[in-house]
Structure 1
Amino acid sequence: MRKSFFIHLGIPALIGHTFDPYITGVAIIGINSGAYIAEIVRGGVNSIDKGQMEAGRSLGLNSRQTMRYIIWPQALKVMIPPFGNQFVISLKDTSLLSSIAVAELMYSGRQYMTITFSAFETMFMVCIFYLIITIPASLLLRYLERRIDKS
């Protein structure tokens, strides 16, 4: 949360220009997720045995062709489950954006709850909305995992 305050309040104070909270929110989630996704990709590529590169080279492929046709297809099989986990984590992290006044799902639910005084019903609907977002994503990822496992 301190990062979001720094990016939303600190950087504009340094450069003398303010940003829309939504732009700041996208930047915060993007920077945070980008670091994890880079590690997922690095780990996926590093998980492939070095002999695969040598095998591609022995077949007469250059490094780019070897990466495209041999390394990346194998690495994608390893990377899909962590990508799905990172998507869900990033979705949950959006609730932290309410600290910089971005009206995301949880923030809107809290505002509605203060108006109607119906805490259980409001939070139940927020949970339902999160499920509506995450269940199709997890089903899509499961489909992709199965499809890649068959090939």
Structure 2
Amino acid sequence: MSLPSDFFGRILFILQKYGVSFLNGAGKTMAIALVGTLIGCIIGFAVGIVQTIPVDKKDNPVKRGVLGLIKLILNIYVEVFRGTPMMVQAMFIYYGSSVLFGFNMSQTFAAYFIISINTGAYMAETVRGGILSIDPGQTEGAKAIGMNHIQTMVNVIMPQALRNIMPQIGNNLIINIKDSSVLSVIGVVELFYATKGVAGAYYTYFEAFTITMVIYFILTFTCSRILRHWEKKMDGPDSYDLATTDTLAYTSGLVKFPDPNEKEDK
């Protein structure tokens, strides 16, 4: 079958012949982005919580020294991965693991690992900022009732901070869907890599990447709509009544005041 001469004819020809390749590439891209974002969020939450552990001069010197060293290492991790391109990180980690440690990573493992630790560095700063955005009185109140730092984070601060950083989590997912294309430099067969193979078969680069651009847009737009809906669910209803079993605190409907305009029944 010969390649059609018109633009839309070539688009349909490519889709009929290589549609499965596009779908497989899109599926791999979404898997890498979703798993990488999830693991990256876990890393970011852990690093962000550790970075906000308060240090007092009255604390044990050993505790201050160990905590200071851990914070220094985590700060170096965050600054390095936020300050270098993901493409360079991919090349360094994938090839460097073999040269430095004799460990040959599979391309799939390297893809998940690189996206995860890169996302974790960005999420660490997001989580730290989200924690610091909460009123300090919340922390003071939790400590006043005997909570330690971890209990305060898990039960008081993080549930409030999570709502504030939800947009950034969604933004990281969108970024990972697009930036997963840089993993093609280490041979990961995601959407961009698959498109290069399709385009090279008939030298239809413009048509092939037009299809890919549309696929990327569909993936990112769909994810952004789902995340926006999730954010609205977390906001709760616009109007609500305070639910409590204390009848002294919740008097709606329990007391009826006389209306002066109403005539008394005789």
Shorter-chain-normalised TM-score: which range?
0.7 to 0.9
Partner of 1:120: 206
**Gapped runs of 5+ residues in structure 2?**
1-86, 238-266
Task: Name the CA shift for 1:107/1:65 in 2 (closer, same or farther; >3 Å).
Answer: same
Alignment of 1:22 with 2:119, yes or no, is no
TM-score (normalizing by structure 2): 0.52
State the distance in 1 between where 2:233 and 2:113 align.
33
Q: Deviations over 1:10-66 (max 9, x none)?
A: 1211222322112112111111111111221111111101011223455x4734554
Partner of 2:194: 108
- Which structure: greater helix fraction? 1
Any conservation in 1 of the 2:111–2:183 contact (CA below 8 Å)?
yes
State the distance in 1 between where 2:235 and 2:103 align.
49
Partner of 2:236: 150
Match of 2:175 among 86, 89, 95: 89
Alignment of 1:62 with 2:147, yes or no, is yes
Match of 2:120 among 16, 19, 34: 34
Any conservation in 1 of the 2:90–2:186 contact (CA below 8 Å)?
yes
Any conservation in 1 of the 2:97–2:105 contact (CA below 8 Å)?
no
* More divergent stretch after superposition (105-114 vs 140-149): 140-149
Displacement of 1:72 in angstroms is 2.0
Alignment of 1:130 with 2:208, yes or no, is no
State the distance in 1 between where 2:153 and 2:96 align.
41
TM-score (normalizing by structure 1): 0.87
- Give aligned-pair identity as a percent: 38
Code of the residue aligned with 1:14 in structure 2: it is L
User: What SS does the aligned partner of 1:17 have?
Assistant: coil
Q: Deviations over 1:126-146 (max 9, x none)?
A: 112212321221112111221
Partner of 1:9: 95
Q: Deviations over 1:56-113 (max 9, x none)?
A: 455x473455434432222111110111111111222211111111111011111100
State the distance in 2 between where 1:77 and 1:61 align.
25
Match of 2:134 among 44, 48, 55: 48
User: What SS does the aligned partner of 2:134 have?
Assistant: coil
Task: Name the CA shift for 1:68/1:19 in 2 (closer, same or farther; >3 Å).
Answer: closer
Q: Which runs of 4+ in 1 moved over 6 A?
A: none
Which of the pair has more CA radius of gyration? Answer: 2
Code of the residue aligned with 1:104 in structure 2: it is E
